[in-house]
Each structure stands twice: as structure tokens, then as C-alpha cells.
Amino acid sequence: MIETKDLILDKAKSSDWKEMYYNVWSQPESARYMVWNITTNEEDAKIRIEKTIAFQK
């Protein structure tokens, strides 16, 4: 984990799917300059967080 006064960076956890979905993955503005597409439903977000966790290992 990396923590500063304004930011906390940590590895993903299964419980993070909802915040990531609603605040980042479902927002077209977030994906505009990225190499990923938006996630359009909660079930896909749950799968995406598990893939992210696997990638981080």
C-alpha cells in the first residue's frame, strides 16, 4: 500500500467492484484516453475485479 495525505493506493479486493464500477469503469470519460472499454453492468464489473485481482498476483 502507498499512502499520502490525499491518496491511498492499494491492491484490488473483491469488495471494490461496486466503487470501481460506478466511479470509473462505467464512465465514458474515464475510458476516453485509455486502452479499455467501459463496463456496462454490475455482473461484468464483478468479473472485471476478479480479473484485476488475478493480474495483480
Report which residue type is found at 15: S
Distance between CA atoms of 29 and 53, rounded to whole angstroms?
24
Give the other-Cβ count within 10 Å of 35's Cβ: 5
Per-residue model confidence (pLDDT) at position 22: 97
pLDDT, tens digit, for every residue of 28-51?
999 999 999 999 999 999 999 999
- pLDDT at position 23 is 95
| pLDDT range class, residue 56, cuts 50, 70, 90 | very high
Q: How far apart, in whole angstroms, are the C-alpha atoms of residue 24 and residue 28?
A: 8
